[in-house]
Each structure stands twice: as structure tokens, then as C-alpha cells.
A = this chain, B = another copy of it.
Amino acid sequence: MSSSSSADSRRQFLRQFGLTAAATAVAGPTVALATSPSTMQYDDQKKLGFAIVGLGKFAQQQMMPAFKECKHARITALVSGSPDKARKLAREYGVEEKNIYSYDNFDSIKDNPAVDVVYIVLPPGLHAEYTIRAAKAGKHVLCEKPMANSVADCQKMIEACEKAGKKLMIAYRAQFEPFNLDAIARIKKGELGKLRQITADHGRSVKPTEEPAEAWRVQKKLAGGGSLMDIGIYSLNATRYLTGEEPVEVTAQEFSDKSDPRFKEVEDTIHFTLRFPSGVLASCTSSYSIQEVKRFRAFGDKAWLDLDPATDYYEHHMTIGDKDGKRQPKIKEGNQFAAELDHMAECVLQNKTPKTPGEEGLKDIRLVMAIYEAARTGKRVKV
């Protein structure tokens, strides 16, 4: 993998991962990139320094801008296979050019005191490798969801961070989002009565041919799976944080049109149910071939609470219905990304366990695997 190629398109970037991920893991540091002057925008040097690993659309459009609202976190390094893109973003975010890394020289980040936390925003198939490399480099790790492609990889990530004495947090942004937090609080204090059922639906239309940056989502090696790993996990995680319980049984049905080239390696639509110890039944859907949906509804015996959208980036909407009708509580929007990043920073600064540690990611991946097993066998799977 050449870090000096100027023709590396996003597509090549991804193909390189798919084909050379193993090779890059043993590659040593390469020449530091370019030297244009830094335009540092963060003067609060007490903020923890984050290295962003992977500068895709999500990182650029959602997460990186959120640092501007952080109290305890700032971007101090960038890790990318696209030097031009990295340099451009470094200028925008005031990152010194010496703090730009490639995937080859990433391990040398261990010598950079400006980096406290490594935030991994790569396709899931690369999470284990980069988390372990970051931990070995003595850095705390914030890693995007889904945590990894397998339970074994999740365990290795947890072990690597434990061994290094570093924090590991999985970036479950919805657990830092005000409408979701408000929903959890209302359920907890009994506003819906006794919780009885949940429905949660997540869907999107993936278009890898129209949008090459989406290509990894339909590659098993990089994505770990299809819609379930990518977006169904929002439904799954929501059922757990809304109930405050761990499910005991899962079932699942899958449909993927195998004549559609998108679904040669990964699943399209998967519907799954979760049974919780209290008796709550959750019915979730996940699909890659429908228009966007990101919603859930929690039904108590006294009222129901709907978030639609529930897990968007902004502009959430809550409705509560009971025997007297419907109402839309006023809830203040907040930057879930900034809250999440600040939480990670606080956990490092105050030596606390993150709200969504590696174990939280592992729980979901165990359930994801159980859901895949249920879909494959047609049987209820105890978990």
C-alpha cells in the first residue's frame, strides 16, 4: 500500500483494505507527509487529543465537526490512506501535518504525546486490528459500532486494552442522544406503565455502484455481515437500553435476493425478535433495500412512546400516546457526537469505565451471531 499515491480514490482505498489489510498490519512507519502550515483552531490544550482513523463520509460530515462542540476532546491527529484528503482535513481542523499518519506508519503514533485516544472509524472488519494496534501503541480506544466481525475479535480487543491498561469504548451514539436518553428515563420512571413490547425498524438503501464509498457495506470481510451488522444493530441495541435487560432468546427470518449483486456476500433484510426476562417481546426489522427508516416504539400497559426518527443524526421526534390521545414532548436537541466524545475523554481523565465499554459491543455481537444462527436454522436460539 503506497501512501504517496495521489490517485487513490475512495474505491481504491477500500479495495486496498479488503486485499491488503493483513499485509499492512506488519508494515513499518513510512515517510511523514507534507509540511503545509498548521492552522490550529483549538487553543484549549487541556483537551484530550484524538486521532481519527478513517476519514470517510461519516467522519467528515458528522463526527469531526462535533469536536468543535466538545469540552474535553479535540482532534490532534489523522490516520488515512489518502494523503491529500488527510492534508485538506488537517488544515480544516488545525491538525499539525506531522500528526498525519498512514495505515502503514500508524503504529508510530505510540511516540506521539499529542494523541491520547484513537477513534477508529474504519469498516468493522478492521476494528480488531486497529484497536489492538492502538492499544499496543499505548492509546485509549474509541471504536465505531459494530464492534467487530466476531465474538473472538471483540474479546481480543477487550483483552488488548486491558493488557495495555487503556480504556475501550464502543461508539453507541444513540446512548448519548437526548431523545433516546429521555425515552430511557421515561420508561425507567414508569411513565409508560409496565413495558410490554418494542418494535424497532432500521432500513436504508445501499448503492455500492452509485456510491463507491458504500462498497465495503456489502463485502463480508469488511462489514462482517449485511444490514444487521450495520443498522439492525441500532434496533438491537435500542431494545437493550430501553428495557435495561438482556434478552434470553432470539429468533430471525432473512430474505436476500441472491440475484442482486449487493447481496452475494451479505444479507439484505433480516427480521428478528428478542424475548426479555420480564416478558417484553421486541420485534425488529433491518433492511438494505428499502428507503431510510430509523424508528422504534416502546409499548407499556399505560402508554406508548415513539421515536421516529429515533437514531438519526439530528431532528428526532418523540410522540407519546395513551388512552387520552397523543402528545409531542418538547425535548432539546443536543449533539450526540460531542456528548459521546466528551464522555470518552472524561472516562480517561477521571479513570472511569465508559458507559458503553467493549463489553457492551461484545454483548451485541454475541446477539448478532445468535440472530444469524436463528435465521440459518429457523430455530429459537437461547442466549
Question: A interface vs B, CB < 8 Å?
Answer: 196-197, 199, 201, 203, 205, 249, 251, 253, 255, 257, 269, 271, 273, 275, 279-281, 283-285, 287, 289-293, 297, 299-304, 321-323, 378-380
Contact = CB atoms under 8 A, between A and B. Distances in A.
Contacts of A293: 297, 299, 304, 321
Nearest to A374: B251
Most B CB within 10 A of own CB, among A199, A280, A379: A199
Given A253-B281, A269-B279, A290-B299, 16 more contacts: A196-B269, A196-B287, A196-B290, A197-B271, A251-B251, A253-B380, A255-B275, A257-B279, A283-B283, A283-B285, A289-B301, A290-B304, A291-B299, A291-B300, A291-B302, A378-B379
A322 B291 contact: yes
A287 B271 contact: no
Contacts of A275: 253, 255
24 contacts: A196-B269, A196-B290, A197-B203, A197-B269, A197-B287, A199-B199, A199-B285, A203-B299, A251-B251, A251-B378, A253-B380, A255-B281, A269-B279, A271-B273, A271-B283, A283-B285, A287-B299, A290-B304, A291-B300, A291-B301, A291-B303, A292-B321, A293-B297, A293-B304
Contacts of A323: 205, 291-292
A279 B255 contact: yes
Contacts of A255: 196, 275, 279-281
A290 B301 contact: yes
A7 to B, nearest CB: 31
A381 to B, nearest CB: 10
A369 B238 CA distance: 32
B281 A304 contact: no
A231 B201 CA distance: 22
